[in-house]
Structure 1
Amino acid sequence: MNRTWRDELLPASFRGISFLIDQAAVPMGLKGQLHEFPQRDDPFFEQLGKQSQVHALTVWIIGDDCFERRDKFLEAIQTPGPGELVHPWLGRLQVKAGACEMNHSRRDGGMVAFDVTFYPDKPRQFPVARVNTRQQVVKSSESLLDSALARYKAAMAKVDQARLGVIGLRNSLSNVYAVIQRQFAPLVGLFNGISGFVQSLMNSPGALGALFSSYFSDFKGLDFSSSGSSYRSFIGTATQHSEAVSGINSVAQAGGADNMSAAQATADLVQDALLVQVGLIISEMPVASQPTSADATPSVDQQAVQPVVRPEVPVADDVLELRDSLSEAIYEASLKAEYFHYQALNTFRQDLVKHLTAVAQSGVRLVDITPAETLPALVLAYRRFGDATRVGEVVQRNRIRHPGFVPPVPLKIARE
């Protein structure tokens, strides 16, 4: 037997106290102000938002126990705070009780009538403090730079310049100078090759610290909002820095004790400068806003004319991999640091991990899928995402040789 609309009605109640409702009306639509102007026949209606759904109800409590239920109902509507109103036609609503008028009649024995008004209630939105993880990374990067410069100055003050040898320093610092060439290109022009770099250390040991201080005072990093910048490019740059940090954690044994001390102090300074630079770069990576799903997927022909516009979001797996590699590199560097510098490195590591974790949480995860047959990458991207323009993402992620022929092998694809 088919259910009718009467079967769909809910038994009315407020805070569990049942009653009867014969009819109910509630304001709907938009409230607004009608503007009428002199000498003009066309008025203008200014819409001012939705009407407040105020429920003015006449409810009845009927039965031999009407007085007992009346008292319970009065207690329910006179209790401060929100309560649940079960509306026969509108379902369960969170409301607050307002003014009420109670009516008794000898003629209507065994019944109590209430004219009561219920107002819609929503939880208050209180301000919520959010940690600015990007700014924390910037602050800890600046503190790390100050600590690194002080550490380098203290270490070089103990070195006897007269005992430094060109050949020993060249052999020890070849990898360090290669890192400067790749990651600090503006500084390379100040030296005449590695020999000039070594001569500068021997003649003026404090000059390198001054160069890095000047370098970071003008450092602008990468602009995430600029054309061509993306999470992928930021992650790629940061990954190169992480590998370079691990590559110069120690220097080759060459020359005497003073040579070794000078070489290690220089390597430590360059290593710290790499960390400061990667920190400033990563601080430009924003926490992505959650994308909204489209109502309908446009056809491939429509996308050819008007490509789908989607916000840039990171791949969580890539961000987490970068986070773990950087955390490990910083931890290894901190094992050979003095107490005061260890604190700066540890604070920097914690802030970096915190920010990258927040970035990863705003991204998408990768899943493994295996196509049932060989098909073009464009078709795979359209079937998976409803967006044919993401074909490049599928091809690059899985290093597909020919985008027209994707083999039926396990592939790494974004979940959404």
Structure 2
Amino acid sequence: MSWQDALRPATWRGLPFAVWHTDTQVSRRVAPHEYPYRDTAWVEDLGRGMRRLSVLGFLVGDDCLDQQDRMIEAAEREGPGELMHPTLGLRQVSLVNLATTSRHDLGRVVELSFQFLEAGERVYPEFGQDGLSSILAAADAADQAAAGDFAAQAGAALRQGAAAADQRGARCAAGRRPSRACRSTRATCSVRRAARCRAPTGW
């Protein structure tokens, strides 16, 4: 098969036209980063750039002006459309510009100059879970739980100590002559009772 046999009949939104020549521009999306005191730059690759297609064609025939009107109507239609490219095949593109030219020396011919951009699907951002926020929230909950456990344990220890001091004081009060240990115990009981009275009600 020769290269001419491999060429496809060109159409734009289903309207046929002949082709003089085509031009395809491809690129990469890059972001150069320059730094002080460095002669070279780091070029960050951000993916493939969109393709730009230029097509120079023509319409021919006694009804070339009617064909031109239909082509202009198709060009002004909203949204992307299908382009059958002679070498690239079927492409979904957005029309940037269409220029038509009528020349006296060419007679019943209308030249067409298309500028297309490769079209893609509209993609919306997706919601995702913020892992750092979840970790911080779990850490805060753990801190609050640990503080509550400490307060409960401290309150229980104070109540237990105060009860033991009260029991020892009662045993000392039952004797005739308070010993030095009993006097110390009574003082301790007074301190424990005062601490218990000043303790928060939540303990």
> 1:25 is paired with a residue of what secondary structure?
strand
Over residues 202-254 of structure 1, what are the superposed CA-to-partner deviations in whole Å (9 max), with x where a residue is unaligned?
A: xxxxxxxxxxxxxxxxxxxxxxxxxxxxxxxxxxxxxxxxxxxxxxxxxxxxx
- The alpha carbon displacement at 1:37 in A equals 4.1
AA in 2 matched with 1:10:
R
AA in 2 matched with 1:97:
L
Correspondence for 1:123: 121
- The alpha carbon displacement at 1:39 in A equals 3.5
Correspondence for 2:88: 90
Correspondence for 1:54: 52
AA in 1 matched with 2:115:
T
Conserved? CA contact 1:27–1:51, under 8 Å: no
Conserved? CA contact 2:92–2:119, under 8 Å: yes
Correspondence for 2:104: 106
Counterpart Cα distance in 1 of 2:27 and 2:120 = 19
Over residues 369-405 of structure 1, what are the superposed CA-to-partner deviations in whole Å (9 max), with x where a residue is unaligned?
A: xxxxxxxxxxxxxxxxxxxxxxxxxxxxxxxxxxxxx
Counterpart Cα distance in 1 of 2:42 and 2:124 = 36
CA distance change for structure 1 residues 46 and 123 in 2, over 3 Å: closer, same or farther? closer
Alignment partner for residue 26 of structure 1, among 18, 24, 30?
24
- The alpha carbon displacement at 1:20 in A equals 1.9
Conserved? CA contact 1:82–1:121, under 8 Å: yes
Conserved? CA contact 2:26–2:52, under 8 Å: no
CA distance change for structure 1 residues 114 and 122 in 2, over 3 Å: closer, same or farther? same
Correspondence for 2:42: 44
How high is the sequence identity, in percent, across the aligned residues? Answer: 31
> 2:39 is paired with a residue of what secondary structure?
coil
> 1:107 is paired with a residue of what secondary structure?
helix
- The alpha carbon displacement at 1:91 in A equals 0.4
Counterpart Cα distance in 1 of 2:80 and 2:41 = 40
Correspondence for 2:66: 68
> 2:114 is paired with a residue of what secondary structure?
strand
Conserved? CA contact 1:21–1:58, under 8 Å: yes
- The alpha carbon displacement at 1:52 in A equals 1.0
- The alpha carbon displacement at 1:35 in A equals 3.6
Correspondence for 1:192: none
> What are the equivalent positions in structure 2 for 1:66-215 lying under 5 Å apart?
66-125=64-123
> 1:68 is paired with a residue of what secondary structure?
helix
Correspondence for 2:176: none
- The alpha carbon displacement at 1:59 in A equals 2.1
Counterpart Cα distance in 1 of 2:48 and 2:124 = 22
Counterpart Cα distance in 1 of 2:118 and 2:30 = 19
Counterpart Cα distance in 2 of 1:30 and 1:61 = 34
List gaps (5 residues or longer) in structure 2.
127-203
Correspondence for 2:3: 5
Counterpart Cα distance in 2 of 1:94 and 1:19 = 17
- The alpha carbon displacement at 1:36 in A equals 4.1
Relative to total residues, which structure has the larger strand share, 1 or 2?
2
Conserved? CA contact 1:20–1:59, under 8 Å: yes
CA distance change for structure 1 residues 33 and 4 in 2, over 3 Å: closer, same or farther? same
List gaps (5 residues or longer) in structure 1.
129-416
Counterpart Cα distance in 1 of 2:35 and 2:121 = 41
AA in 1 matched with 2:112:
F
> What are the equivalent positions in structure 2 for 1:190-339 lying under 5 Å apart?
none
CA distance change for structure 1 residues 126 and 65 in 2, over 3 Å: closer, same or farther? same
Correspondence for 1:244: none
Counterpart Cα distance in 2 of 1:34 and 1:22 = 37
Counterpart Cα distance in 2 of 1:51 and 1:95 = 14
- The alpha carbon displacement at 1:55 in A equals 1.5
Rg larger in structure: 2
Relative to total residues, which structure has the larger helix share, 1 or 2?
1
Conserved? CA contact 1:32–1:48, under 8 Å: yes
CA distance change for structure 1 residues 64 and 29 in 2, over 3 Å: closer, same or farther? same
Counterpart Cα distance in 2 of 1:119 and 1:25 = 12
CA distance change for structure 1 residues 123 and 40 in 2, over 3 Å: closer, same or farther? closer
